[in-house]
Amino acid sequence: MSKGSQRMGVYICRCGGGIDNSLDTERLAEMAKGLPKVARVSTVDFACSPAARAAIANDVKEHGLDRVLVAACSPRLYLREFQQTLEGADRNGCMVEMCNIREQCAWVHFDDREAATAKAEDMLRMSHARLQDQTWTEKANVSRVNKLRCTGCGICESVCNFNAIHVSPDKEFNGLRKANVNINACEGCGACVAACPTAALDQACFSNQQMVSQIEMFLRDGRMAFPKVLVFSCNWCSYAAADTAGLKRMAMDPHFCALRTMCSARVDPEWVLKALSKGADGVLVLAGHPGRCHYEIGNLRTRKRMALLHNYLDQMGFDPDRFRIAYVDSEEAEAYVRTVNEYVDKVRALGPNPVDPRTVVSPKRLEMPWLDIKPPKRWDEGLEL
């Protein structure tokens, strides 16, 4: 399914007043109508209800939609149900994106309707950008190899904790060593992708381009004023804690936006550099506590990688406090709120990022290697680019 043929449907959920009591869903819907490739926008009372999902399926068929963006509750709750809805309408389930404007916006910024609405607009734009860059995949979240870039170094194999990657001689490349991913064994943590030194690996549904497009959308076109803080959250740990904080209606400073990854080990240091070079005032990586990772040792790899990044930022002239890694488990909603609020306050005290994101850098200094990759002949395991 090509990027140019997209027809996207956007559905804004009111959650029976649970969302639009705190933010303006009609304003959000009007903004969505102006986004590229959006063919259908609708506000619904309960997007998760069988009737609403049936209406979405009907829209998919009637309007020829191939991507659906649902601004509602957490993807941890209903993403699978919406995927099944599209599958029932003869569309690929992975062409669904959920924007969490309930637990992680309306329910934690309930005392400032304008700030909550502005943040929800930023979140919707970011989710829209992410969905535009989604490609079809047989199995969500798996790693995949561009063998034209693979040098056979074996780093990916060494960091995989699930024996899903093997490096061996490849007949199609004259016996040169190339990485191979067993998609049935891959658990989708993304640690191998972040560790690959040649950008030969990527991850379906959490691709480099998808993550970078969200970062750039937030920093280029976002409504949020200073400070602008990006928070990378592990799906199983800190993101779950953030959802619980919303359920508990715990008030939070609105000057941050969370990016979900399946594991903190997926967070590429170059994303942090990209964010700071584009004007982010601070970047926070929230991993689970070491020894309690859903993928067993993912956060241990995160801790080592991010410790080195601190030194690198100092050498590049950034205040090291503009980046921080902290540890929050899924049941630690109070720790999540405290950690994020304290970091936003710290960044506010630092002042704005001295980098002007509007300037043009030539030659390019912080561009990531995958941005200039030409499409390969094919991806490993039969996955198409």
Q: What sign for the dihedral angle of Cα 104, 106, 110, 112?
A: positive
**Is residue 338 exposed (0-12), middle (13-18) or buried (19+ Cβ within 10 Å)?**
middle
Structure tokens at 351: 């002042």
Q: Summarize pLDDT for 60-102 with one digit per residue, the tens.
A: 989 889 899 999 999 999 999 998 888 887 766 668 999 999 9
pLDDT at 375: 45
Ranges of H-type helices in 133-264: 155-159, 191-195, 208-221, 238-247
pLDDT at 361: 58
In the chain, the amino acid numbered 194 is A
- Residues of the chain falling short of pLDDT 50: 1-2, 363-366, 370-385
CB atoms within 10 A of CB 323: 24
- Map residue 287 onto helix, strand or coil: strand
CA distance 203 to 192: 9
Model-level pTM? 0.88
Q: Of 115, 15, 3, 7, nearest to 71 (Cα)?
A: 15
Domains of the chain: 8-110 (3.40.50), 143-204 (3.30.70.20), 206-374 (3.40.50)
Q: Of 167, 270, 169, nearest to 211 (Cα)?
A: 270
Q: Of 95, 96, 101, 125, nearest to 24 (Cα)?
A: 101
pLDDT at 186: 92
- The DSSP letter of residue 102 is I
Are the C-beta atoms of 53 and 60 separated by less than 8 Å? no
In the chain, the amino acid numbered 97 is E
Which are the contacts of 88, defined by CB distance < 8 A and separation ≥ 6?
57
Q: Summarize pLDDT for 93-132 with one digit per residue, the tens.
A: 668 999 999 999 999 999 999 999 999 999 999 999 999 9
pLDDT at 53: 94
Looking up tokens 């016996």 gives 175
Between strands 201-203 and 143-145, the pairing is antiparallel
Peptide bond into 363 cis (omega under 30): yes
